[in-house]
Amino acid sequence: MSGLLFVARILAVSALPLAACWLWFASRIPAFVPVRLLKSAFLGAAMVVPVAALQYLLPRASSGFGSVLFRSFVVAALVEEGVKLASLRMARRFIASGSGEAAAVGIAASLGLAIFETALYSFADPSVAIVRAVTAAPLHASCGARIGLAADAPSLLSPRAVFSAILAIAVHGAYDLSLFVPGFPSFFPIAIAVVAFISAIGLVGPKNDGDI
């Protein structure tokens, strides 16, 4: 029971950023439509299933730093951001993003995924639960903004769409690497998450609608 209570608290802490983003989106997007973001958040939560399936099917490197790199940049970053990109691309009509909501849709989907991901990590390794509860939200939000813009692009092969997707994977991988390497200072994942989030703030707004 104590374990379930712990996870419930982590879920509550993780869900707060989603509520904060609702207010932020409303202040930055003139034609803000909450139902689009709600759909996106639920879509993000549903992404847990294909993400978990793909991560389970991927081979596991035996040991060493190479194993940590593979786990960080492939198993975690590439799979999660790839599933986000594919899901948002296929669900464009369902979500119907517009009026500068491409980045916001990506953020909402990422936070929906992050809530459940944090709970799973809490069961597996309670020692990183608190750090993830505080840092996973801004990290996923920053990567989600870029994935949202890439998914909304006329072509996924356009230079800016490719750059946005690669940058999201690189940032996500660096964050996970700083968590997975034993003895890594705890301020590294915090710094990565905060800097990435600050750099993504300007992506939410009408000026970014359809500019990729």
**Residue pLDDT tens, the chain, 212 long:** 455 665 566 566 566 677 777 777 877 777 777 888 888 888 998 998 999 999 999 887 667 788 889 999 999 999 999 999 999 999 887 776 665 688 888 988 998 888 777 767 666 666 666 666 677 788 888 999 999 999 988 899 999 899 999 999 999 999 999 888 877 777 888 889 889 988 888 888 765 554 43
pLDDT at 210: 46
pLDDT at 211: 42
Residue type, 52: A
User: CB within 8 A of 103, min separation 6: which ones?
Assistant: 144, 145, 146, 148, 149, 200, 203, 204, 205, 208
Going from N- to C-terminal start, the domains of the chain cover 2-208
pLDDT at 61: 67
pLDDT at 83: 96
What is the pTM assigned to this prediction? Answer: 0.83
pLDDT at 70: 92
Both tokens of residue 160? 């800016």
Candidates 140, 168, 149; CA nearest to 89 is 149
What number of residues does the chain have? 212
> What is the residue-wise DSSP string for 100-148?
T-HHHHHHHHHHHHHHHHHHHHHHH-GGGHHHHHHHHHHHHHHHHHHHH
pLDDT at 97: 64
